[in-house]
Amino acid sequence: MSTCNMLKFPIMTMIISIVTILILSFPSSIAITKTNPHPFKKIYAFGDSFTDTGNTKSVSGPSGFTHGSDPPYGMTFFHHPTNRYSDGRLVIDFVAESLSLPYLPPYKYVKGNSPNGVNFAVAGSTAIDHEFFVKNNLTLDITLQSIRTQLQWFDKYLEENVGCKVKDVNCKVGDFHDALFWVGEIGANDYAYTIGSTSLLKKGAKYVVVQGFPMTGCLPLAMTLAAEDDRDNIGCVKSVNNQSYTHNLAILNLVKSLRRQFPKAIITYADYWTSYLTVMQSPTKFGIKETFKACCGMGGAPYNIDVFSFCGAPSTKACLNPSQYVNWDGVHLTEAMYKVVSNMFLKGSLMNPPFSFLLDQKLHRG
């Protein structure tokens, strides 16, 4: 995400979560062989900076996080900046790997038909409500990137490459049968707009993963801005976590409603909140030593955060071991944390219904 992102959780307006397509690894009961290949041939992803793989460059990114195209971003895996707001891969990258698919190309760099899917996610929305910044006398020129912008890109892509006209409400996209839709962090109303009434389910999407909000109150930026007496039992910002938790309840209700409206679709909920909480409660179990401090920053105590000069700016430095940190730059997570979360979603029990159920249904339906 970006500052705004983080604030919004890369595109989270204190409401984060967008339909992302989770498929990191298949359970042992589903062996991946030449006779039993991965069931999905492509991924269509939407969301904010937690999912954006390159649609947002430094010049167009959210205020504050204007150095996402500069080192040390990308240092861990790619060894150079890729316009991802992290030191390496994101959840959506691990999903692609698990399906033996190439990393999703960002929409802005796609020319013609992309056989393995497209990433429409773009940084810019905030995870923390704008009122939180106003309350703390911090004014940010937030660049709002609406999910509707992503859907306009999606419609344009379909029209140019599939022949599905935007105004043709009866148009069904055949290749959606083999596509996994991943909706990452966004607002509750945006979820309804994205998954339901507009492009996805009505155009034929059958397999959708809706990702909930993480514990945004545990992000270093939130910790830095909030009053010291605003803390919960694990040391995070109580008011912000309460907002995120409430948002997740709203998302769950929406998912239930969409399941009733589209009974033939498999819509699964990825519990980002619980995955984050699990790491915060037992970090060493996952190789994590630092749960609150940002890996990359200006060195401001106690969270390595300077709200006016974020990672990538002159004089900022990255830690030598980002794999031991939850947070990368004060708002976005490290590759290590994204990998842990992905494993919990795809190999663990933090998706409802389980990811294994979604895969079984796809394999049985063909």
Helix runs in the chain, H state only = 3-8, 91-98, 130-135, 147-161, 188-191, 220-225, 238-261, 272-281, 335-346, 355-365
- Which residue of the set 114, 332, 342, 360 is catalytic? 332
Would you call the peptide bond into 115 cis, given omega within 30 degrees of 0 as the criterion? no
SS (H, E, C) 165-218: CCCCCCCCCHHHHHEEEEEECCCHHHHHHHHHHCCCHHHCCCEEEEECCCCHHH
Residue 248, token pair as written in the block? 């997740």
Give catalytic status of residue 309 as yes or no. Answer: no
Give catalytic status of residue 332 as yes or no. Answer: yes
- Which residue of the set 48, 52, 87, 329 is catalytic? 329
The total number of residues written for the chain in this structure? 366
Amino acid identity, residue 282? S
Give catalytic status of residue 329 as yes or no. Answer: yes
- Which residue of the set 49, 86, 114, 275 is catalytic? 49
DSSP β-bridge partners for residue 290: 325
List, in order, residues 6 or more apart from 180 with CB less than 8 Å away.
Answer: 21, 22, 23, 40, 42, 43, 44, 95, 99, 207, 208, 209
Residue 295, token pair as written in the block? 């890996």
Instruction: Catalogue the active-site residues.
Output: 49, 329, 332
